[in-house]
Amino acid sequence: MDFILDNKWAFLIVAEVIFWVSTLSFLIVRYWFNLKTLSIAFFVLFIVNDLWIATMGYFDYMRTGEFSAYQIIILIVIAYAFLYGKSDFQKLDHFIQRKVAKWRGLPEPTLTNIKPLYGTEHAKQERRNFYGHLFIFSAVQVLFFFMFGLSDAVSSIQLDTLFEDWYDQKETDLFYKNDTANNVTRIWALILAIDFVFSMSYSIFPKKEKQLTRSA
């Protein structure tokens, strides 16, 4: 990990390249080659790459003890993914579908434009998205439990020091008998917490529809 952190900017650039390659590969394989099952592999690569970016930011902070421009950039990337990633991906998806149809001489596909949601409907959708994220996180934790079992440290957990024990050390024994599973869990838990804040914020501050101004 030291080598990666010594060259953290280069690895961050590589991760961004992988982001675009995996995204475009997913769409091209799915629509040009019509290999929908294979395209899932690129989607998984996209998710793993996002976790990798978060991992680099976390371990760099643990190494330096400072919240630097590096962490700020990574937080911006994660925040963008939660706030605008889905809608921008949908736009790119529609663009690729139209281009592929044009290149292959096929009729332009009929694409359903999803009506933007506002207010309570938008808040409900954001909560549903978070619940889906929480379900996947929980399912992976169950998988880790059966694969590795709980560590001895779980029996001595103290709630008042849980956060410190979990995040203030480069290596942690919480919660499984496997270092990789523990690191994936605590980094994913941070991402889940950020998702929770963004998703639930719309329940407190509903998204308002922009009012179109009419010229006189």
| pLDDT tens-digit map of 139-196 | 889 988 988 888 888 888 877 777 777 777 777 777 888 887 888 888 888 888 888 9
Q: What is the DSSP letter of 151?
A: -
How far is Cα 131 from Cα 136, in angstroms, rounded to an integer?
9
Question: For the chain, how far is it from start to end, CA to CA, in angstroms?
Answer: 62
Tell me how far apart the alpha carbons of residues 155 and 93 are, in angstroms, rounded to a whole number: 48
Contact criterion met (CB below 8 Å) for 203 and 131: no
* Residue 3 pLDDT grade (very low, low, confident, very high; cuts 50, 70, 90): confident
Nearest to 30 by CA among 40, 45, 44, 19: 40
Q: What is the pTM of this model?
A: 0.59
Whether the predicted pLDDT of 14 surpasses 90: yes
